[in-house]
Amino acid sequence: MIRLLIFYFITTISFAQVNPEEADLAINELENNFYEALKQKSIENYDKAIISLEKCLEKDPKNAEVYYQLGTNFLAQKKYLDAEQNFQKAIDITPNQRWYWNGLYDVYYQTRAYEKAIPIVEKLVGFDINMKEDLASLYMNTNQFEKAKKVIDDIENTTNLSKTMELYKMQIQAMQRQSKPQVETLVQAIVDFPKVEQNYLDLIYTYSVANQEDKAFEIAKKLAIELPTSDMAHVSLVKFYIAQKNTELATESFKRVSKSAKIDSKIKHRVLNEFLIFATQNTSLYNEIDQVLVYFTNDSGLDVYKELGKFFYKKEHYLLAEKYLEKAQLNPEMMDLLLNVYDFNQSFDKMAKSATQWIDLYPTKANLYYYAAKATNKLKKFKQAKEFLDLGMDYVVEDKNLEAGFYKQYMLAADGLSDQKLKQDFQKKLDQINTK
């Protein structure tokens, strides 16, 4: 590397109308001083390196490489003004040498002179397209967010974004949602950067907020064509196809969203709700829903089986409610709902088994004893029903409806046990509650 650098240094030397012997002597002296400067710099003797380089300038005051090396030594000493002046002189002499521009950029970056650094990096992009990330960072640091977005879009149009660029992109998107970018700006951004997904999504959102659903639909279709791998396009397309009652395409987009690993689970749940309402008009679509539930995770805190169970419960589709609630995560709310569904469906074996198991987990939850008693009464296990009622009665506190339910089950158990006195006692207690 040193030999290559010296070769470059020697080729930049120019001695016009000089005696050949004098020229050879000057070159040897220059070469020796330049080599000495590199050696001193390598062991961090920057002052000695600078002295040797200044001797080089005495022989050749227009040598760009000498000025560049002076800049690097001053920069190492954090003498930023001297470094800047020498890098600039190197550039003035040889403007097409990338490393000279890099040296000047290092000065501005280390001194946080970001405004000065921007035109330097804009020049460096011509040498190395990877410098676009530096340019985007500089625009972000100087609050030139529109320019930063344009550079990031340009990067994304040709390659995947780095984590830093993704972070900048999200920051800009958050600001754009607050500032509501004009339609014209987004339309032009799509023309300039047809492979950047976010511009389409922002425009779809803008049209939707303005109740221009037809235009939003057209942009969603355009996104799906331009970026066939875009799953987010189908988040919007589901809604539009449902509005058109296009069952085939709505189902296709719904399944695409459901299976996507790129889409946030909260968005998936929202799309599921939209499709679920649509499916009530065509119950054959319930099977399509079943096929994709495996792709729904609980990382958003939402239990898809619970939501489906509650949905069908409200629609009074109790068989479907039972199917999904049985797969839901166990908690007191789900226990009550599922036991109630078992009651509607007359699934008394399941009702008795579940209530009995849950009593072990929640021994003071009075309604579990009620459901266990009711189920065993229906199964004509009257003695067992009375035992559940006796155990649970002490936990019925300030709940007249549940208390009345207990008394009714006592009377049914008493009938089954042919104990008329027991039945009369609880009939009296029931009458007392009803008269209050």
**Closest of 377, 330, 333 to residue 357, by C-alpha:** 330
Mean pLDDT, residues 345-359? 96
Letter string b/e over residues 128-164, b meaning 16 or more CB atoms within 10 A of that residue's CB: eeebbbbbbbbbbeeebbebbbbbbbbbbeeeebeee
92 contacts 69 by C-beta, under 8 angstroms? no
Residue 266: both structure tokens together: 């909260």
Residue that is last in its domain, among 87, 111, 135: 111
Q: Is 9 exposed, middle or buried (0-12, 13-18, 19+ CB in 10 A)?
A: buried
Cβ count within 10 A of residue 210? 11
Instruction: Tell whether 132 is covered by a domain.
Output: no
Residue 209 lies in a domain: no
Please, what is the average pLDDT of the chain? Answer: 86
pLDDT at 20 over 90: no
> What pLDDT digit, counting tens, does each position of 184-205 carry?
888 888 998 898 888 898 888 8
Higher pLDDT, 267 or 341: 341
**Is residue 94 in some structural domain?**
yes
- Domain residues for the domain of 424 are 346-436
Residue 228 banded pLDDT, cuts 50, 70, 90: very high
Q: How far apart are CA 272 and CA 260, in angstroms?
A: 13
Q: Specify the range with the lowest mean pLDDT, choosing from 88-102, 207-221, 377-391.
A: 207-221
Residue 382 placed within a domain:
yes
Largest CA distance in the chain: 137
- For the stretch 257-265, contacts whose Cβ atoms lie closer than 8 Å and that sit 24 or more positions apart, written own/partner, are 257/231, 258/292, 258/295, 258/296, 259/292, 259/295, 260/231, 260/295, 262/231, 262/232, 263/231, 263/232, 263/235, 264/300, 265/296, 265/297, 265/298, 265/299, 265/300, 265/302
Q: Are residues 72 and 66 in contact, defined by beta-carbon separation less than 8 angstroms?
A: no
Burial of 174 (0-12, 13-18, 19+ CB in 10 A): exposed
Any domain includes 218: no
pLDDT higher than threshold 80 for residue 26: no
Q: What is the DSSP string of 100-145?
A: HHHHHHHHHHHTT-HHHHHHHHHHHHTT-GGGHHHHHHHHHHTT-H
Tell whether 174 is covered by a domain: no
Which has more confidence, 401 or 37? 401
Residue 371: pLDDT over 90: yes
Return the minimum-mean-pLDDT range out of 15-29, 122-136, 410-424: 15-29
Does 435 score more than 80 pLDDT? no
Check residue 212 and give its pLDDT: 82
Rounded to whole angstroms, the Cα distance separating 325 from 338 reads 6
Q: How far apart are CA 388 and CA 356, in angstroms?
A: 9
Would you state the pLDDT for residue 298? 61
Cα distance between residue 220 and residue 277, in whole Å: 22
Helix (H) / strand (E) element for 228: namely none
pLDDT digits (tens, 9 = 90+) for 285-319: 998 888 888 888 665 567 889 889 999 999 899 99
Q: Please determine, for residue 268, whether its predicted confidence score (pLDDT) is greater than 50.
A: yes
Domain boundary among 57, 80, 111: 111
Residue 55 scores a pLDDT above 50: yes
pLDDT in the model for residue 27? 57
The CATH number covering residue 399 comes to: 1.25.40.10
**CA pair distance 388, 130, nearest whole angstrom:** 74
pLDDT for the residue numbered 24: 47
- 55 in any annotated domain: yes
pTM over 0.85: no
Higher pLDDT, 3 or 379: 379
Q: What is the DSSP letter of 331?
A: -
Query: Which percentage of the chain shows pLDDT scores above 90?
Result: 39
Residue 329 pLDDT level (bands cut at 50, 70, 90): confident
Within a domain: 236: no
pLDDT class of 180 with cuts at 50, 70, 90: low
pLDDT confidence band for 16 (50 / 70 / 90) = very low
pLDDT at position 15 over 80 = no
List of residues 6+ apart from 411 with CB closer than 8 A: 423, 426, 427, 430
For the cut 50, the answer to whether the pLDDT of residue 147 exceeds it is yes
pLDDT at 48 over 60: yes
| Residue 16 structure tokens | 């016009």
* 8 A C-beta contact, residue 308 and residue 276: yes
Q: Which of 111, 143, 172 is where one domain is finished?
A: 111
pLDDT at residue 176, rounded to an integer: 65
Q: How many domains does the chain have?
A: 2
Residue 406 has pLDDT above 90, yes or no: yes
Q: Comparing 239 with 266, which gets the higher pLDDT? A: 239
